Every structure is written in structure tokens, then in C-alpha cells.
């Protein structure tokens, strides 16, 4: 009778899986993050370098770094689980995580030009710095209020 490889200790395997953490850092060092054995984000650090990046560049750096950490996590989880067999749904998911490649973001749009100086005769004016408008007058709040005001709507059914 051929000797079977010893099954790994269940408790030790669970402890190793629970402790597994994969960390990745972007090439420029702006983003550093960690994921657990399931690929769930457990830590995110952004360096001061992100202050010189656009929001879309930051998002792209985080996503690319996250994918790198996910891949490492999936590979290491697969290595830990390999003695149990390489078939089944869990191993298929790990293989998928290793091969996953996010869709490339669309090319960044050029930065908008500075808004032209406002003219007094402009039809549309930037009123974002104006004082907030006063609250609208209180009006009907229920069906009965509308009915009392003389408005009647026909039923749709």
C-alpha cells in the first residue's frame, strides 16, 4: 500500500490562512496596501506623493496596487491549500484571482480650461458663491393638502 502524504493539521492551516497578509506598493511608492487571504483590503497608505497626482491617477495607482496584492494573496493561499487538492470551486476562484486583470481606465481627459471672466450681460452666471436661496414657502405635504388647495389628480389605474 502506497504511503499517502500526511494531511495538513486543520488548526495549523486555519491559523496560517488567518495570518496571511499580502502587501504591495506602487512603483512610485505613492500607494501601499495589504489584503488578507480572501483578497479583502486590510490596510491602505497613501504617501505625500499623491498630492501631486490627479484623482484618476490616484484611483488607477490604488487599483493596480490592489490587483498586485490580490494576486500575491491568491498564490500564497493556493500554496497553503495545495496539499488538500487542486480541484474544486475554491481553487478555481484562486486561479481566477491570479489571472484577473482590471479593465484599463479610459484615457484621462485634458484638464478643463480656466473659466472665462463673467460678463454682466451673460445669460448664465456662476452663482456658486452666492448666498444660499431661502427655503421655499411651505406648501401642501399630503394628498389631502393638495385636495384642499383645489388640485385633483385622476388615478392612474
pLDDT digits (tens, 9 = 90+) for 81-118: 888 887 888 788 888 888 877 776 555 555 566 555 66
pLDDT at res. 68: 94
Q: What is the dihedral of CA 140, 143, 146, 152, to 10 degrees?
A: 160
Tell me how crowded residue 35 is: count the other CB atoms within 10 A of its CB. Answer: 23
Of 36-40, 81-85, 139-143, the range with the highest mean pLDDT is 36-40
pLDDT at res. 102: 74
pLDDT at res. 50: 93
pTM for the structure as a whole: 0.58
Q: Measured between alpha carbons, how far is residue 147 from residues 16, 88, 140 in Å?
A: 68, 64, 9
Query: Is residue 156's pLDDT more than 70?
Result: no
pLDDT at res. 105: 58
Query: Is residue 42's pLDDT more than 80?
Result: yes
Instruction: Name the grid cell of 48.
Output: 505625500
For residues 71-83, give the mean pLDDT. Answer: 89
Amino acid at each position: 500500500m502506497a504511503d499517502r502524504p500526511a494531511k495538513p493539521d486543520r488548526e495549523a492551516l486555519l491559523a496560517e490562512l488567518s495570518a496571511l497578509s499580502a502587501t504591495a506598493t506602487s512603483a512610485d511608492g505613492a500607494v501601499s496596501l495589504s489584503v488578507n487571504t480572501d483578497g479583502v483590503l486590510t490596510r491602505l497608505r497613501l504617501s505625500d506623493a499623491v498630492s501631486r497626482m490627479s484623482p484618476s491617477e490616484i484611483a488607477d495607482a490604488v487599483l493596480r496596487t490592489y490587483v498586485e496584492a490580490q494576486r500575491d494573496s491568491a498564490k500564497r493561499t493556493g500554496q497553503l491549500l495545495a496539499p488538500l487538492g487542486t480541484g474544486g470551486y475554491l481553487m478555481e476562484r484562486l486561479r481566477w484571482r491570479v489571472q484577473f486583470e482590471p479593465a484599463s481606465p479610459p484615457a484621462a481627459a485634458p484638464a478643463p480650461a480656466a473659466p472665462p471672466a463673467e460678463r454682466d450681460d451673460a445669460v448664465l452666471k456662476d452663482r456658486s458663491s452666492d448666498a444660499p436661496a431661502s427655503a421655499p414657502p411651505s406648501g401642501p405635504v399630503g394628498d389631502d393638502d393638495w385636495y384642499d388647495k383645489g388640485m385633483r389628480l385622476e388615478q392612474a389605474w
